[in-house]
Each structure stands twice: as structure tokens, then as C-alpha cells.
Amino acid sequence: SVLCVCCRTAALQMHAGGSQAGPSSREEPAGRPSGKKASVPMEEEFRGRSWATPPDRVSGRKRDGAELARCSGFWSAEGERAEAAASGSAAGERPSKSPRRDGETALVHPRAELDDLQRGLVRQFVSTIDANEESIVITNPRAQGNPIVWVTRPWQDMCGFTYGEAVGRNPRLTQGERSDPAVVSAISGALKQERPCKVAMVNYRGGEGGPAFWNMLSISPLLHRGQLQLYIANLQDYSYHMGQMVSLTPSQFCRAALHYRRGRRLDAPLTSLSLAKPAIYEADGEHPLQPAPEPPPAQPMMRRLGWNKLVLEPEHLADRVGDALSRIDAQYELAERLASGESVVVSARSGDVAMRVLVSEEADGHYSISCARLSGDTFSYHAAFRQLKAALGEALTQHPLQSRGFVTPPTGAARGALPLARALPALTAP
């Protein structure tokens, strides 16, 4: 029988116990792995699902339920909960880990429907991300039903399913009563055409009947030599941010914009900002990328006030601008959404002051909100700008996208914060 790494190491140590250690050798404590990596390829180890559970005498110590679950090779929700309990974590919590980008985070579930090429692509993609921080789900469009084949720990925490519970199922498992059917249909249409898209919709942690949350996700195809192999989805919990809107009702949407069809390689680490931007990934370093879309037209030069280094999604920032303008009794309209880039133009009037507000992407991938006076008194314009700043509030702070788990509004939230319970019932029926 094939043994797991820790059991195989313990057996070798016991077998060598009769020989005298040389002067340069170093004894390891009984029952502890040597720290050396196994010579057996990771995928072959994982394919050996008939792993035998060694008796207690192999390591010379009693094995608890969590270790037995690991060594027997059975992947189950019970086994995951046993490991969490053994590590001292509460039920449903994951033991904290330092960020890693190595292949150990890419262990593939035995029920995942993947061929050898796709398994290699999963490992290749996972090597470019911080799997302990990013909420990522990978699906296989070449299998019937586009089933889930790999997820990160943050995805499990956000969506309320373990890897073992989610594998083989369609990502629709988190949808429910208030998930907009029109948005679901639009997602299906984009996937059939192999197009990247950005989505905002209501999902349910643990499936319908669980707590609702606002999901901002980016879906990107992963190609190999131009052929679709996998879909990558990056999720962000926007429940708290949506709850900050007072005058406007959050809307669900699916956008498959032209500029999302940018080519991107897997030859460098992917940051949270880049993962949040839909793209077309090409795994083969020699295959030509998708042609880059035309850059957005240059905006006319004029003096502006505003804020930069923002990380909230531009669609949400545009909604927050509209909400803030409504709160200061300004009239506004969405003048233009530039199709060639992450840019939204809002025309507004507050009293005698007319101004244009631009939400745009900066060269480093962050976003900015800038205001330009079109007419009116300078002092009145600055007063309106200060009102807009106060109404936008925390949307103007640089939010680090490191806490990717399920977010609920804090108790005693800042003035103007709305709990999720008030934001969701306001959704209009599709």
C-alpha cells in the first residue's frame, strides 16, 4: 500500500532504527516528518486513493481522528472538520497559514473532472496567486455542467461549502431567491462565447437559505495554445460596501466589455488588483496573446480635484458617486461609459455649479475619481466638492483587498452605514 508522506517517513525511521547513526547523521524525533519533500510526484500520491492507514506501532504513538483521516486518504467534510478541531480552530474556521505559492496548495480533489493537461494548468495558475488570501474557484467548461474542480480556502469561507462539498457541482450552488435570473442568463451567454465578464449579484453562503451577500466576481477563461481549458473566477464580498449606499438601490449586473478581452500570461505573480480585472489567460508562454484593445481616448486637459489609489471596483465607485450626489441634492446623469476602458463619466449640477465627475483606471491598476468644474463660481464649486467628499466617505480610502472572507457590517458602524438586511430587501424583482 502507498503511505502518505508523514507515515512513510515514520516507517523508514523505524526500519533504520537498528543501525548505528554515523557521526554526521542527525536523528529525528519519533513520529515527526523529516521535513524533506517526497520524491513521489504529488499527482501520483493523490491518485493513490487506496492509501492504507498504518497501525499505531509504526510511529510509536497513538493517532487521533484527524491524523487517521489524513493518512487514510479519504477526503470528506468530516475529515476537514476533524483537522480544524485538531489544530485548535473552532468549527468552520481554518487554521491560519502563512502565504504560500507552492504546488502544495494545488492538491486536486480525486473527484475533480480534469485531464492531465488541465491538472497541470491548475498547478500553473495556483503558483501565481496567494491561495491563502484570494477567493478563487476554478471550473472545467470541457466537462458537462462546467463543474467546480478547485477552490481556495477563502472561497470556502465566503461561500459556505468545503472543497469536498463543492467539487463536481456547478457554481450556481450559491444562488438563491434574490439572485437575478437575467444576470444568471447573461453569465451563461458570456461563458458560451468564451468571453471574460464582471458580475455583481446576490449569492447565499451555504446555498439558498443561508445568509445573503453581495458578490462582485470577475470570470476569466484560461487557454492553452488558444484553446479554452478552464474558467477562473475571483470573488469579492461587497456586502458592506453596498450597505453604504443610502439614496440608490444596488443593482445586479453582468458586463462582458470589450476591454476585458485583454491577454494575460501566467509568468508572474497575480495581485489582488489584477485578479479582480477580467482577462483572457494564456498558459503557453510562446503562444500569441489576444490583441490588446485600443486604449481609452485621452480626456481633455483641465484642472481637476479628486482622489486616487482607490481599489473598489469602478462600477461600484460610479454608483457611489451617484448616491453621494443625490445625498447633497445635486442633479446628475450618467453621461458616458467608455467601452474601451474602466472609465465612467458623470455630469452633475449643484446649485449654480456644473461639474463633470470621472471614474477612471490609473496606469498602475488602481482607480481614481476626479472632478472638473464646467461652470459656476470657484468658491461654490469647492464647497460642492467638500460636500461630495463627505458623502463619499470611506469609498475614498484605500481598501486593501487582503481580507477576502465573508464580510458582515460591524456593530456600531460609521454614520451612514446600512446593514445588509436593509440593502437586500430593496432589490427590485427581476
pLDDT digits (tens, 9 = 90+) for 236-268: 999 999 999 988 889 999 999 888 999 999 999
Prediction pTM value? 0.70
Which triple of cell numbers denotes residue 252? Answer: 445586479
- Asked if residue 180 has pLDDT above 80, the reply is yes
**What are the tens digits of pLDDT across the range 85-144?**
444 444 344 433 334 444 445 689 999 999 999 999 999 999 999 999 999 999 999 999
Q: Within a 13 Å sphere around the CA of 349, how many CA atoms are in the beta-carbon half?
A: 7
- Asked if residue 302 has pLDDT above 80, the reply is no
Which range is least confidently modeled, 39-43, 111-115, 121-125, 154-158? 39-43
Q: Where residue 303 falls among pLDDT bands split at 50, 70, 90?
A: low
Give me the phi and psi of 58, to 5 degrees please: -60, -50
Interatomic CA distance for residues 301 and 170, integer angstroms: 48
Give me the phi and psi of 18, to 5 degrees please: -75, -25
- Cα–Cα separations (whole angstroms), residue 119 to 46, 113, 141, 167, 230: 12, 9, 14, 14, 10
Which range is least confidently modeled, 220-229, 366-375, 401-410? 401-410
Q: Which carries the bigger pLDDT value, residue 414 or residue 133?
A: 133
Interatomic CA distance for residues 112 and 288, integer angstroms: 29
Interatomic CA distance for residues 398 and 367, integer angstroms: 10
Count of other CB atoms within 10 angstroms of residue 91: 7
Q: Where residue 385 falls among pLDDT bands split at 50, 70, 90?
A: very high
Interatomic CA distance for residues 393 and 85, integer angstroms: 41
What mean pLDDT value characterizes the chain? 75
pLDDT of residue 46: 36
